Amino acid sequence: MKEVPIIDVATAAQMVKDGDTILQGGFGMTGNPVHLMHALAETGTKNLTFIGNNVGEVGIGGGRLLRNGQIKKMIGSFFTSNPDAVKAAQSGQVAYELLPQGTLAEAIRAGGAGIGGFYTPTSAGTLIAQGRETKIIDGTEQVFIKGIRGNVAFIRAWRADTAGNLQYRMTEQNFNKAMATAADLVIAEVEEIVPVGEIAPEHVHTPGCFVNYLVQATLTLEDLGSSASVSSSKKVDESRMNMAKRALAELKKGDVVNLGIGIPTLVADLITEEHGIILHTENGMLGVGPVPTDGGGAMNYPVNAGKIPVTALKGSSYFDSADSFAMIRGRHIDAAIMGGLEVDEAANLANWAVPGKPLLGVGGAMDLAKGAKRLIITMTHTNPDGSSKIVPACTLPLTASGVVDLVITDLAVFAFPENKLTLIELMPGATLEEVKAKTSASFVEQIA
């Protein structure tokens, strides 16, 4: 049986050369090879192309490389979680390429499988697709995405045996599993290294043939950044909770449902075992339960797409990000409940970017908007300046076209029967006159 060399973090960091493309596993700081990244930050290595879902957090993980000026370009799906990354990109200090989360995961999986690229409906008709080849396949516009490979991959697993077989813990598979296949040199940071044979074959997630070196490094709470613990204080105003309750009423027993961040996450607090609803999170989990009541964090619990520690219900399962988005694009998700910035008369959605604002990340929104069987948007009816969010035509960058099935605001519920924006319900305390006054879009009234 192969024996993989065990090295220290400093030795591993020296294997990255100036100008290399480096893949970094992790979702936020969960499953993040933080010790390897910090060792790399101690070197003089520069002009790196960084590929990962996000560039760590401020001063942690990839965020430390960014602060040091070691990154010349970053490719990822959600930079907003690190203000330093947003500032560096928007100022032109660092070049960047933004990809939808599922597209990024699949591009890495393709690169690792020796596939040159693929077509996907995700991002068609949006700013993300500009400059990319497109074609119509089975009547649907699809965007060509090239496979991604790197010179070096830094990944994080929970256990390894001396043959390099890896086992991940809970939602820590995320991008790690695909990245282990997609680089010329793969270095796995692990919590524990055991003799070969101690990880049962059926528990091996990444076979040792993909791994070149092992590094043992112990996680601390500080390494987990914002996922280290759960805050017990959570105040929710009545109007937001009303939107969550109304969204829950649209779900039925047995539905597989993905909840976006913001108002949609409140739906999770309302779901009971009797509802029989299976929550999906795009970073790799089915069967998401409520947040832990003991204040524990990602050291002891899985995390959701908001990087918040959650519990696992009976029958839950874990998988990697590529498989998670295969579920989404393959239309195995019955409903997605997402936030919105604008919805228009043609059921178009804008929810990921506002020109001039410190936002830089689409995450899984484009994949979910295209792939979920039903899309429900929850949002406040107006912006802080009083302008309508339900508009004749979206002016903000589009997430997807013609995808919205239902809009729930603090004032009203709209649907699209016969492809026409239709008011079907008033929310508690709202009047028809108020809805008309605060809605710039034209709509049909069909209130029971």
* Catalytically active residues, by annotation: 282
**C-alpha distances out from residue 117 to 10, 15, 133, 230, 238, Å:** 35, 28, 11, 39, 47
The total number of residues written for the chain in this structure: 448
Q: Which residues 6+ apart lie within 8 Å of 436 measured at CB?
A: none
Instruction: Output b/e per residue, 157-187; b: 16+ Cβ within 10 A.
Output: bbbbbbbbbbbbbbbbbbbbbbbbbbbebbb
User: DSSP string covering 17-74, please?
Assistant: -TT-EEEE--BTTBT--HHHHHHHHTS---SEEEESSS--BTTBTHHHHHHHT-EEEE
User: Pairing state of beta strands 406-408 and 375-378?
Assistant: parallel
101 is written with which tokens?
Answer: 């989360």
Torsion sign, CA atoms 377, 382, 388, 393:
negative
142: which strand partners?
A: 135
Place of tokens 């604002």: 357
User: DSSP string covering 184-241, please?
Assistant: EEEEEEEEEEE-TTSS-GGG-SB-GGG--EEEE----GGGGGGGS---S-----HHHH
Quote the Cα angle for 170-372-292, to 5°. Answer: 30
Q: Which residues 6+ apart lie within 8 Å of 257 measured at CB?
A: 251, 267, 277, 278, 279, 280, 333, 334, 335, 336, 337
